[in-house]
Chain A
Amino acid sequence: MKKLLYITLNELLLLVKDRMAAVWMIILPLAMTTIMGLVFGGFGGGSEAVVIDLPVVDQDGGEMAAVVLDILSQTENLQVETAYDEETARQLVADGQRAGAIVIPSSFSAAMTSGQPTALELIVAPGGQTTPLLEGMVRGVTNGFSNVQTTVEVAISEVQRAISGYDPSTNSGQHLDYEGIAERAVATALERLDDPPVRTQVTTVSGTEEEEFDIFDQMVPGYAVMFAMFAVLSAAGGILEEKERGTFKRLFISPIPRWSLLGGKLLAQFLMGVGQIALMFLFGALVFHVQLGNSLVGLSLITLATCWATTSLGILLVSVIRSRKQIHPITTLIILGSSAIGGSWYPLFMMPRAVQQVARVTLVAWAMEGYNRLMILGGSLADVWADIGVLVLYGVICFTVGLRLFQFKEA
């Protein structure tokens, strides 16, 4: 065990002495996260090309609800789905399979026709970059209904006013004050701008009012996972470098148990990954006020599980790929590919359905799902057990196969 720790310490010492590693592990991740966060922070960049599947739960079934459905169906970029009940729709959003869902309450048509205030509920995954887009679309609909209701209200009140002062014997209708009606209608409409009769109520999947979402809540864990993979897999590639340099052979022919030799190197890689993610979260929390969620235990376990899975993937890769020249392009391809489809750069639900399914084979998808649930949806440890479990299993499989194929000595 002592030798295992010495090997780990030596790996970390080598990391500290490697100036390029400092650039890769500290400066580049922080700079990339900052730049990308600021670039995409305003949101809106490529959303036009996205078609969003939007469950609409019609609890009203009335005439006005049908109008809402009709308007939404004709909205570009939206694919309205009416087959779900509220619970299923909410779960789809919670699982990250949908960006949001709309609930038309049972009293919607009645409220509209009676002039009573009402609201459409927009349920969102707060981590979704499409949330502002959805919100804008639904507000467009509710504003339209507010305008209609305001117009009807003004018309009715003016008719009532006219009727109340009408004397058929004198035919006083000729004395209707048309300018006064217009002034009162405008004043009423302006009042309604502050307090529209048909509102958009945005809630998170957990039922709370939507908090302001910051793009860094998505960016920081996404880039943390990606750069942790770079750090860990690069260190794993270092085993091949040691084999080519001869230091691995020198260690093998010294009296060290094999498990200490490999374990020391893997422990160092694992710690590098944990350090990388911790650094990114610390930076995100201090500089960009990233929300770390309500469960630090859950966050820690997801981080440990992610690093375990990444470290195990590393040993698998260096067992299969036996040349340093080959491993760098291959790991880069794996990291960038899995980050792109796994949710490091964009939330999973923005991807085509087929890509979302494929993404499940990457550890990034499970890690990001866990981080998003904890940090954005405000979930608890119980909400991420499945993600942790899959990551641990992922690591066990990669580790077992990798260890079986790993060549300690010359064949």
Chain B
Amino acid sequence: MSVVTVENLHKHYGDPRQGSGQGSGRGVKAVDGISFEIQQGEIFGLLGPNGAGKTTTINVLCTYTEPTVGQVTVVGHSVTAEPEAVKRAIGVVPQDIALYPDLNAVENLRFFGRMYDVPRARLEQRIADLLELVGLTEHAGKRVEHYSGGMKRRLNLAVGLLSEPRFLMLDEPTVGVDPQSRNAIFENIQALNRQGLTILYTTHYMEEAELLCHRVAIMDEGRIIALDTPQRLIKTLGTGLIHVGVKDVNEAMLARLRALPQVKDVTRRDNALAFETMDAQRALLDIIGLFNEMDTPMTSLEILEPNLESVFIQLTGKQLRD
């Protein structure tokens, strides 16, 4: 059963004919025709660099931004036609630390709990449970402005859970946090998911997506360029990716490289060749041998582990953190 359906979603700012992509002129296509579904009980990841369109997608899903084109339903309600029903069903943990720094944790939770209509009789218990969940019980009376970055992130998560949502969206929830807090957040997310909560998780950290997400959509420049389970996406790389820097390679050499037995494919980008391999170790020996044989110098050599970052690099030629 789908908790979220997104069909052909476009979100444009300004006049997109005057430019496309983030920061390329007055018009921006922040999201450019994406479609996906999120199933009940799933942790679905949106992975991509800054400016890929992840936050804009979340903003549409939580009714904060109107789609330019496209159909979006959340928990069976259209985000444009029934925004109030959507708001009641979701929890959002925004990328910003959306808390009042002058208030303490309890005061923040109490205020937002009232905004979400948490019954007064249950609110105090709910606050205590959430503080326990995110490990802030001992710091409950301390002003948020005196919290560490990680503590603020954990409280940010707790506020998103106040309403006991059916669908939780987390937008880059681990940016700027210490490893201890990051692990605590991961554990919280996995525990919530085990209880049946459906989660949308955006990040530009590929290891987080690999660790947490059942399925991942890789986004770049407003488009989804790959969507599958992390394992299947990584498998497309075989055992590894090899990048070789070159000054000049002719077509004959390229054809011989493609014909190497351990090489699945070779892609040429500017002054570099990207090799998808079946066995990176063996392929590497063959590649070096051929370069020597053809007396062609290498300017750099890099073996990339098979992971989601490598998938992204393979698909876009860019680093995920660009």
Residue positions of A touching B, CB distance < 8 A: 2-3, 6-7, 10, 13-14, 17-18, 245-247, 249-256, 409-411
Contact = CB atoms under 8 A, between A and B. Distances in A.
Contact of B92 (A10, A14, A253): A253
B115 A247 contact: no
A6 B115 contact: yes
A410 B28 CA distance: 14
A14 B100 contact: yes
B103 A250 contact: no
Using C-beta atoms within 8 Å of the partner chain, give the interface range for chain B.
20 to 34
Given A250-B159, A254-B87, A6 B92 contact: no
B116 to A, nearest CB: 6
A252 B64 contact: yes
Nearest to A408: B64
Interface string B64-75: 111000000000
B62 interface: yes
Interface stretch (B106-114, B177-185, B290-298): B106-114
Given A10-B111, A13-B103, A410 B96 contact: no
A79 to B, nearest CB: 55
28 contacts: A2-B114, A3-B114, A3-B115, A6-B111, A6-B114, A6-B115, A7-B115, A10-B100, A13-B107, A14-B100, A245-B96, A246-B95, A246-B97, A247-B100, A249-B96, A250-B92, A250-B94, A250-B159, A252-B64, A253-B63, A254-B112, A254-B116, A255-B84, A255-B87, A255-B117, A410-B64, A410-B65, A411-B13
A253 B62 contact: yes
B133 to A, nearest CB: 19
B291 to A, nearest CB: 52
A248 to B, nearest CB: 8
Interface hub of A13, A17, A247, A251 (most chain B Cβ within 10 A) = A247
B98 interface: yes
A245 B98 contact: yes
B102 A14 contact: yes
A265 to B, nearest CB: 13
Interface string B43-79: 0000000000000000100111110000000000000
A252 to B, nearest CB: 6
A255 B103 CA distance: 22
A253 B168 CA distance: 13
B63 A250 contact: no
- The 6 tightest CB contacts between A and B, nearest first, are A246-B96, A246-B98, A250-B98, A17-B102, A410-B65, A254-B115
B99 interface: yes
B146 interface: no
Interface hub of B13, B63, B95, B115 (most chain A Cβ within 10 A) = B115
Contacts of B318: none
B180 to A, nearest CB: 24
B65 A409 contact: yes
B194 interface: no
B88 interface: yes
A82 to B, nearest CB: 63
Nearest to A18: B102
A7 B115 CA distance: 8
A245 B100 CA distance: 9
B103 A14 contact: yes
Given A249-B94, A255-B84, A409 B64 contact: yes
Contacts of B114: 2-3, 6
Given A3-B115, A246-B97, A253 B103 contact: no
Interface hub of B92, B99, B114 (most chain A Cβ within 10 A) = B114
Contacts of B98: 245-247, 249-250
Contacts of A247: 98-100
A300 to B, nearest CB: 31
A253 B100 contact: no
B59 A410 contact: yes
Contacts of B111: 6, 10
Interface hub of A2, A18, A254, A410 (most chain B Cβ within 10 A) = A254
Interface string B236-276: 00000000000000000000000000000000000000000
Given A246-B97, A253-B63, A411-B13, 4 more contacts: A254-B87, A254-B115, A409-B63, A409-B65
Contacts of A411: 13
Interface string B198-218: 000000000000000000000
A250 B112 contact: yes
Nearest to B160: A250
A10 B109 CA distance: 12
A333 to B, nearest CB: 27
Contacts of B65: 409-410
Contact of A255 (B13, B94, B116): B116
A20 to B, nearest CB: 10
A18 B101 CA distance: 10
A253 B87 contact: yes
Nearest to A15: B102
A2 B95 CA distance: 29
Interface in B184-201: none
A247 B115 CA distance: 12
Nearest to A410: B65
A390 B63 CA distance: 39
A287 B146 CA distance: 39
Contacts of B62: 253
Contacts of A409: 63-66
Nearest to B88: A255
